[in-house]
Structure 1
Amino acid sequence: MREPTIHEAKITGGFWGEKQRLNADHAIFYQWQKLEATRCIDNFRIAAGMLSGFREGFFFADSDAYKWLDAASRIMFHFSNPDLKILVDDFIDLLAKAQQSDGYLYTYNQIHFPGQRWVDLQVEHEFYCLGHLIEAAVSHFETTAETKLLAVAQKAADLLVKDFSDSIPDFTDGHEEIEIALIKLWKATDNIEYLALAKAFVERRGTIKLFPFKMLSQVLDSGRRMKLVDKKRELWLIEHPDHNTFKLPERNKNIVPLWAGPRFAISALTGKYNQQHKPASEQKKAEGHSVRFCYLKTAEAMLAQIQGQENRIKQLREIWTQMVTRRMYVTGGIGSLPLSEGFG
């Protein structure tokens, strides 16, 4: 059992073929326009010293651009489009300029909190963003054989290896994703250090001592940092009255039950929300934030396959069955709980 490569699978027509063509001709360019409109791309220009401005967006905004780059790289493999290649190449050049000399790349800290890094890892998304950067780089390398973006990703991964190969469980990510990315990067480069770090991140999970207190501390500190950013924005707008902060459209109105908030808080403080409540190998059912859960279990399955751990694969199949038969809508959707995007 193995994952087929993009070179081995191709949709040639039908419903999904039409959707692929729509993505290639229209959606991927529309998404880039929105990344520009929300100033997501400007964040990298500011970090690179190419633009003076205020960083906009959530602390995880970088990942939106990386996901676009991942998709664009895969689209180019099936549909030749010179305009898309120009966008991709220019963005890769921008990322190389925004990346710090030691490999660090996370615009939230680079712009708002220079010198700070690996902060509030259970809440904020440094590892998560780097994971999507690495996945985009692997996709780009697999589809183009070009190495410029791969070099950016390896530089970031080498920094992670240097800083976290021998670290304590506290330095595991609150939003899983880096584990999958490091495994893919190992497959693309044969650098065993990436595989070893992915395995370490998975095995350290769920072993943080005094987790509820540390989680609460990070939630409070992350909130403090966001308030500082809001204050900086207020001062920036006073000094730059012509700056238009992008505003998201009003969200759909929905009624959040009274129990949703306390249930979310309990899930977060106990570690279930981000799968930190017990070691990964001891987790027997789908719990917590659904996206985080699926990232983690995908990484575990990849590792079990590589290591030939048949018992672990069997256990993961049982978790999969429990999820799709007891925690999934008929549409395939998961994460039904309000606020937490969690399993009910």
Structure 2
Amino acid sequence: MRSYQAKRADATARLLAPAAPGPHARPVGRTPLGINQVHIASQSLLGHWQERNAAHTIPHCIEQLEGSGVMDNFRRVIGESGAPYRGFVFADSDLYKVIEAVAWEIARSGTHDFDAWLDEAIALIARVQEPTGYLHTWIQGVRPDKRFVELDRNHEMYVLGHLIQAAVALDRAAGRDDLLQVAIRFAALVDRRFGPGREDGIPGHPEIETALIELHRHTGEARWLHLAEHLINQRGHDILPDEGFGHRYYQDHVRVREAIDPTGHAVRQLYLNAGVTDLFLETGESALHDVMRAQWERVHERKMYLSGAFGSRHRDESFGNDYELPSDRAYAETCATIADLHWTWRMLLAGEDRRYADVMERELYNALAASVDESGTRFFYSNPMQRRPDRFSEENAPAQRQPWYACACCPPNIARTIAQAGAYVATVRQAPDGPALELHQLLACEIELPESLGSGTLTVRTRYPTDGEISLYVAGGALPPGSAVWVRIPAWAQGATLDVGGRRRSVSDGEGARGFVQIPADEVDGAVLHLPLRPRWTAANYRVDAVRGAVALERGPILYCLEQVDLPEDAAVDDVYLPAVPVVTELPSSGDAPAPALRVDLSVRTAEDSLYRAAAWGEREAPTRSLEANLVPFSTWGNRGPGAMRVWIPTV
């Protein structure tokens, strides 16, 4: 067996990133950069988050794996623990997601702080795996009679998907393949049982599809690509039972190439879409890209919350109907935002639409950022846009963030996503007039230029999104003639300007419409992009009945909210509305806040005792009084204690 050091040396030559195109993938003209090639500065919001993730969130997750019983679930199968099984049937996946987080943290920082834990955890997993390759502690330790019997609910393939992703990440980042061999044995068992030409069977919870394609990319074995394609092709053939939840819940009601309408359990739909898009990236089948583009439009134009969250119904954790986006009863599961990040990144690799990166930015800075507190150890599962003062806690929708959940899918999912976030910053493309580096996420970082772009480092200096100035510098080399750096211009950034060669010019309407400003190689060093970060009021589509007559406040990519803690005791969030011309004033930035607080003129009603009253058309009662209050970034809400909150503020 080759040494760990030798394998680690090999790993440095690989693309250390999720969704790395395989050697036989169709050329899409766009290649991601590895986590080890993009070094996000710790002073940036995302860089600070990565540091906190490594120092607090990952260790917290490791601790909770013991406290919640996940590790004992493995030990009890082989007689090393007498504790009863704890958690849901898919609890094994919590461990695999944490291992993936550790792997990407190794790729990001080169840390080996978790090596001893990895050794112990992987050795335990290997001891539990059966000679056949089977590995699922709930089945093995509780219901061995249910092995591959209830694919709709027992999550065997879903758990395997997370095992594969963890194993591939660990081999890429650290050059160790011990977990990879475990994952391959289990995947081979599934292939022998449910592969092409064998028994019909698909997972009730998608996730394995994108994992198998990643395994194909990593190993070069076509077997895993064929298995993923087979599982995708079987959807819509009445394979899963229609018991209670219905076929739509499982995305099994129609064949994938006809499924333009997002439906059912939101996380499952979005994970499936990531796998389908991965399949397109490998095979180039245009029908897959067509249906994914159509569904992406519907998801993000009709079913996405302004924060970048998804899932409007607590029942079934599901998408609602088009434009069904209640603020106070939003389910908006953290894992749904993460699943969409993964899917939208793959759509970005496959397409030319600037909106993909815009959406990812919205998700990262708002819905996902709000899901974890400033300590990195308390989390939201559900992320509503409004918290009423009398709202009571529910199991997965508590009034304040919790250190863990019985269904603990979200915290380790956050940990693995933030550890790999460097992979979503930049890509390299072969444009008609030469190679280009595309900067999708606007943050302070250093990017090691790949061979196609000469040599050296591109440094991005900025305080964005607090400040709209973004400066570029090239050190240790030069970009080759004919190449360029393309910097994304967000859709809201009308009036952007660019300083190059000692002169300032406006970013043209044409450039803004295409979504990028193109800076030629000889003008990159010292170029400065200025994005206007003016506060703006946003109204929803008129079909969103839940927030008709209300507006939300945004500044750049940051969404704001009003918290009860920022109002006087005798003024309630639910009694506030905006005057005809509200004045918005920026306050000085402070601490680690993602953006400055915004002081806003507000009016306050007198609460009425009656539930209903006679309508008086065209009249508005005079407010009790006017006041000023601070609106703060939505991502920070709840950090000062539980209480009422709202994003959408009525205008009447």
TM-score, L = length of structure 1: 0.80
> Which residue among 283, 293, 296 is the counterpart of 1:320?
296
From 258, 261, 279, the equivalent of 1:282 is 258
Change (3 A) 1:3 1:176: farther
Normalized per residue, the structure richer in helix is 1
- Does residue 164 (structure 1) correspond to residue 191 (structure 2)? The answer is no
Partners of 1:105 and 1:141 in 2: how far apart? 20
Aligned to 2:242: 215
Aligned ranges 1:141-290 → 2 under 5 Å: 141-165=171-195, 166-169=197-200, 171-208=201-238, 214-216=241-243, 265=244, 268-269=245-246, 271-290=247-266
- Aligned residue for 1:35? 65
Secondary structure at the counterpart of residue 24 of structure 1: helix
> Residue 527 of structure 2 corresponds to which residue in structure 1?
none
Larger-gyration structure (1/2): 2
- Measured in 1, the distance between the counterparts of 2:122 and 2:59 equals 16
SS at match of 1:340: helix
In 1, are the aligned partners of 2:77 and 2:137 still within 8 Å (CA)? yes
Q: Which amino acid aligns with 1:167?
A: R
Distance in 2 (CA, whole Å) between partners of 1:46 and 1:89 is 19
Aligned to 1:122: 152
Q: Which amino acid aligns with 1:163?
A: R
What is the match of residue 87 of structure 2?
A: 57
User: Whole-Å Cα distance in 1 between the matches of residues 31 and 237 of structure 2?
Assistant: 30
- Equivalent residue letter for 1:61: A
Report the Cα offset of residue 80 of structure 1. 4.1
Deviation at 1:76, TM superposition (A): 1.9
Contact 1:122 1:215 in 2 (8 A): no
Q: CA RMSD in A?
A: 1.6
Q: Which residue of 2 aligns with 1:329?
A: 305
User: Quick one: structure 1 residues 20 and 319, their matched pair in 2 at CA, closer, same or farther if it must change by over 3 Å?
Assistant: same
Question: Which runs of 5 or more residues in structure 2 are unaligned?
Answer: 1-29, 321-652
Amino acid at match of 1:319: Q
Q: Secondary structure of the equivalent of 2:318?
A: coil
Within the alignment, does 1:301 sit opposite 2:277 as a pair?
yes
Kept in 2: contact 1:48–1:94 (CA 8 A)? no
Q: Which residue of 1 aligns with 2:376?
A: none
- Paired amino acid for 1:20: Q
Q: Tell me the equivalent position of 2:41.
A: 12
Residue number in structure 2 paired with 1:93:
123
Unmatched tracts of structure 1, length 5 or more: 217-264
Q: Answer whether contact 2:257 2:287 (CA < 8 A) is retained.
A: no
- After superposition, the C-alpha distances for 1:43-66 in whole angstroms (9 at most, x for unaligned) are 111123322331111111111111
Partner of 2:108: 78
- CA distance in structure 2 between the aligned counterparts of 1:274 and 1:340, rounded to whole angstroms: 10
Instruction: Give the conservation status (yes or no) of the 8 Å contact 1:70–1:139.
Output: yes
Distance in 1, matches of 2:127 and 2:158, equals 20
Q: CA deviation at 1:5?
A: 3.8
Pairwise CA distance, 1:310: 2.8
Give the letter aligned to residue 217 of structure 2: K
**CA, structure 1 residues 7+115, in 2 after alignment: closer, same or farther (shift >3 Å)?**
farther
Query: Alignment partner of 1:55: what SS?
Result: coil
Q: 2:134 aligns with which of 86, 90, 104?
A: 104
* 1:23 alignment counterpart: 53
Note the C-alpha offset of 1:33.
Answer: 0.9
Distance 2:314 2:78 in 1: 38
Deviation (angstroms), 1:125: 0.7
* Structure 2 counterpart SS, 1:215: coil
Inter-CA distance 319–2: structure 2 relative to 1 (3 Å threshold): farther
Q: Confirm or deny: 8 A CA contact 1:44 1:107 kept in the other structure.
A: yes
Q: Which residue of 1 aligns with 2:286?
A: 310
Quote the residue 1:257 is aligned against: none
Cα separation, 2, equivalents of 1:4 and 1:97: 36
Q: Is the 8 A contact 1:76 1:85 kept in 2?
A: no
- Secondary structure of the residue that 2:304 maps to in structure 1? coil
Number of residue pairs aligned between Structure 1 and Structure 2: 289
For 1:204, the aligned partner's letter is Q
Partner of 1:292: 268
Structure 2 SS opposite 1:288: coil
**Alignment-mate amino acid for residue 85 of structure 2:** R
The structure whose residues are more often strand, as a share, is 2
- Tell me, in whole angstroms, the C-alpha distance in 1 between the residues paired with 2:151 and 2:162: 16
Alpha-carbon distance in structure 1 between the residues aligned to 2:126 and 2:301: 45
The 3-state SS of whatever aligns with 1:133 is helix
SS in 2 for 1:272: helix
CA offsets per residue over residues 76-95 of structure 1, 9 Å max, x none? Answer: 22234443111112111111
Partner deviation per Cα, 1:105-159 (whole Å, 9 max, x = no partner): 0000100123541121112211111110111001101101111011111111111
Contact residue 85 and residue 138 of structure 2 kept, 8 A: yes
Sequence identity, in percent? Answer: 33
